[in-house]
Amino acid sequence: MTTLALSKAITAGLRKAMEDDPKVVLIGEDIGKLGGVFRVTEGLQKDFGEHRVIDSPLAESGIVGTSIGMAVRGYRPVVEIQFDAFIFPAYDQIVTQLAKLHNRTLGQENVPVVIRVPYGGGIGSPEHHSESPEAVFAHHAGLRIISPSTPHDAYWMIQEAIKSPDPVMYFEPKRRYWMRGDVDMDNRGLDVHSAQVVTEGTDVTLLSYGPLMPPAADAVAAAAEEGTSIELIDLRSLNPIDFDTIEASVKKTGRLVIAHEAPVFLGLGSEIAARITERCFFHLEAPVLRVGGFHTPYPGSKLEHHYLPDLDRILDGVDRALAY
């Protein structure tokens, strides 16, 4: 067992993938000599060379387009997008080319591209640096989307993403980059697309992922002090979604609260709420409730603590569910 920060667990996972497969190539802005703005690729160019850790021009559409061509030629490119909202210049390449090429060629072409996206707020950054656009991409068929919340998952999930024959968007909760935890280098654990029951409970199911998992865990502990038993689930895979694990939990507890940092309006929680209502209608003791960001542009850093869902807002969601 090794203890690593989440960012360094990703670094270790990238290193292992590059050692195992010489066709794995990293490409992005300032990822080489600088090691990326969050230093996730630090030291990799020195060890693997400039032909495998490529400092690109500032052109997200060009970066993704180049990676698609490399994938078709047999490489496994891993793209770094510096910050979440910087991805939109590459939106066309991702949703009209990357997501559809396998289908368009009737399965003859695989495009094993991984797009790493540091996402979410909480680091005091300026505009366009704190978005949560995961639902925008989950809407488009053809993209696998995963988000680790622990160093262990960060280490293993990046390797599984790189091995996948399909394009994978790997959303990294950047305000958790410095969170440390144990990494079992010998045992992957759950399949990359399985949700994880983190804490078992009986009164209400709390579902979250990525950056909100720490306050969700705090909510479990705080509620337990008042006699409420929360079952906590880490979604982990945002597309496909492991509805079976969620359904089994909700049939046990009768209640579901979904918490994510992205806006509640048309966020990932909307689809989950609709599906679970269909699948668990006669087991629900309360409507499925959602906790998330507001339907506004992400605010300046001095106001982001008002925007971001926190322990109190999650507990309020739990209380509302129990009040029915």
Tens digits of residue pLDDT in 99-127:
999 999 999 999 999 999 999 999 999 88
In this structure, are 27 and 130 located in the same domain? yes
Q: What is the pLDDT of residues 154-163, one digit of tens each?
A: 999 999 999 9
C-alpha 130/C-alpha 128 separation (Å) is 6
Mean pLDDT of 254-264: 97
Q: Is 143 found in the same domain as 41?
A: yes
- Average pLDDT on 42-52 reads 97
Q: Give the domain extent around 283.
A: 196-323
Least confident of 123-127, 209-213, 223-227, 240-244: 123-127
pLDDT at 289: 98
Q: Is residue 235 part of a domain?
A: yes
What is the pLDDT, as a whole number, of residue 1?
Answer: 86
Asked whether residue 229 carries a pLDDT value surpassing 90, the answer given is yes
Residues 212 and 174 in one domain: no
Helical pair 151-163 and 6-20, crossing angle rounded to 10 deg: 30
Is the confidence at residue 252, as pLDDT, over 90? yes
97 and 49 in one domain? yes
Domain-located, residue 188: no
Residues 92 and 144 in one domain: yes
**b/e string for 99-115 if b means 16 or more Cβ within 10 A?**
bbbbeeeeeeebbbbbb
- Average pLDDT of the residues of the chain: 97
pLDDT at 50 over 90: yes
Co-location of 36 and 167 in the same domain: yes
Q: Do 140 and 273 lie in a common domain?
A: no
Distance CA 216, CA 291 (A): 11
How many angstroms separate the CA atoms of 4 and 120, rounded? 21
Q: Tell whether 159 is covered by a domain.
A: yes
Same domain, 202 and 176: no
> Is 189 among the domain residues?
no
CATH number at residue 236: 3.40.50.920
Total number of domains constituting the chain: 2
What CATH number should be reported for the domain holding residue 84? 3.40.50.970
Domain end: 183, 218, 253, which one? 183
pTM of the model: 0.96
Q: Which two tokens stand for residue 246?
A: 């969620």
For the record, the structure tokens of 263 come out as 């806006």
45 inside domain: yes
Q: Do residue 20 and residue 127 come from a single domain?
A: yes
pLDDT of residue 126: 86
Residue 190 lies inside a defined structural domain of this protein: no
Token pair recorded at residue 201: 């409970």
Domain final position from 183, 210, 241: 183
253 domain-assigned: yes
Could you say which of 140, 159, 183 is where a domain stops?
Answer: 183
Quick check: is 129 catalytic? yes
Give yes or no: residues 52 and 145 share one domain. yes
- With pLDDT > 70 as the criterion, what percentage of the chain qualifies? 100
SS3 per residue for the chain: CEEEEHHHHHHHHHHHHHHHCCCEEEEECCCCCCCCCCCCCCCHHHHHCCCCEEECCCCHHHHHHHHHHHHHCCCEEEEECCCHHHHHHHHHHHHHHHCCHHHHCCCCCCCCCEEEEEECCCCCCCCCCCCCCHHHHHCCCCCEEECCCCHHHHHHHHHHHHHCCCCEEEEEEHHHCCCEEEECCCCCCCCCCCCEEEECCCCEEEEECHHHHHHHHHHHHHHHHCCCCEEEEECCEEECCCHHHHHHHHHHHCCEEEEEEEECCCCHHHHHHHHHHHHHHHHCCCCCEEEEECCCCCCCCCCHHHHCCCHHHHHHHHHHHHCC
pLDDT at 65 > cutoff 90: yes
pLDDT tier, 78 (very low <50, low <70, confident <90, very high otherwise): very high
Query: Of these residues, 102, 128, 129, 152, which one is catalytic?
Result: 129
- Decide the pairing of beta strands 180-183 and 2-5: antiparallel
Structure-token pair, residue 213? 């998992």
Q: Which two tokens stand for residue 185?
A: 């280098």
Task: Write the CA distances from 154 to 149, 172, 240, integer angstroms.
Answer: 7, 8, 18
What per-residue confidence (pLDDT) applies to 77?
A: 98
Query: 94 with 216, same domain?
Result: no
Same domain, 201 and 164: no
Nearest to 28 by CA among 3, 69, 60: 60
In a domain, 39, yes or no: yes
Tokens of 245: 């694990």
